[in-house]
Structure 1
Amino acid sequence: MKFDIDNILQQAQKMQSQLEKVQKELEEVEVEGSAGGGMVTVKVNGKQELTDIKIEPEVLSEDVEMLEDLVLAAINQAISRSKQSAEEHMQKVTGGLMGNLPGGMKMPFPGS
């Protein structure tokens, strides 16, 4: 069996270019998570970085523990949505090939 190494290298370079493009696109993606019926809202970018937090003033008069729980719930929801968005972007580029990496590795973020 003969392999066309030039073709394989060309495909690898093309995929690398596409992955870089997706990573740049993900920097522009922003998803929102909320808790308490919108009392706490957070935004996370495609790199799972927190970019904004909004807390309705009436929540501030409640107990601190409840506010902490709402903030955590909103952040976790936003991060989950951001990861899902990243996976969808990557699947468009890789055709789902990256989903079968060994050791549970995922792209584009380690531990995602």
Structure 2
Amino acid sequence: MFGGGNMQGMLKKVQKMQKDMEKAQEEIKNTVVEASIGGGAVSVTMNGEQEVLSIKIAPAAVDPEDVEALEDLILAAVNEANRKAKEVAEKKLGAVTGNLKLPGMPGMF
């Protein structure tokens, strides 16, 4: 009466997409990205959920007379790692959604 066969096929596609989305989100969670700034002076490691896992600072980058430069390096490294993590999330989720911009989907900005 309402195209039940077509609706059933559509439901299967939605269920597959949901499973694929869950798999992609797990892959994103387990992805680790690293950004190194200032010739290795500061390195930041972040997971795909944009949580900072570690920050490494080379001893040579620590100058008590120029703390602001070190702060800038840390900020730049965190922002670069964040950009990389977002890029990974967008690629993995985009493969599932066909690059649709779905509201409320992490990494789909």
Do they superpose with TM above 0.5? yes
- Equivalent in the alignment of 1:88: 91
Does the alignment pair 1:17 with 2:19?
Answer: yes
Percent sequence identity over aligned pairs: 43
Superposition RMSD in Å: 2.0
Give me the TM-score of the superposition, normalised by structure 2. Answer: 0.85
Structure 2, unaligned runs of 5 or more: none
Q: State the aligned residue count.
A: 106
Q: Which residue of 50, 65, 72 corresponds with 2:68?
A: 65
Distance in 1 separating the partners of 2:67 and 2:19: 47
Following superposition, the deviation at residue 84 of structure 1 comes to 0.6
1:1-112 residue pairs with structure 2 within 5 A?
A: 2=3, 4-62=6-64, 63-96=66-99, 98-99=100-101, 101=102, 105=103, 107-109=105-107, 112=109
Contact 1:34/1:75 (8 A) holds in 2? no
Runs of 4+ in 1 over 6 A off after TM superposition: none
Structure 1, unaligned runs of 5 or more: none
Following superposition, the deviation at residue 2 of structure 1 comes to 4.4
Distance in 1 separating the partners of 2:86 and 2:107: 9
Give me the TM-score of the superposition, normalised by structure 1. Answer: 0.83
Contact 1:27/1:46 (8 A) holds in 2? yes
Contact 1:26/1:47 (8 A) holds in 2? yes
- Helix, strand or coil at the partner of 1:18: helix
**Shift in alpha-carbon separation, 1:109–1:86, aligned structure 2, 3 A:** closer
Contact 2:44/2:56 (8 A) holds in 1? yes
Higher-Rg structure is 2
Following superposition, the deviation at residue 93 of structure 1 comes to 1.8
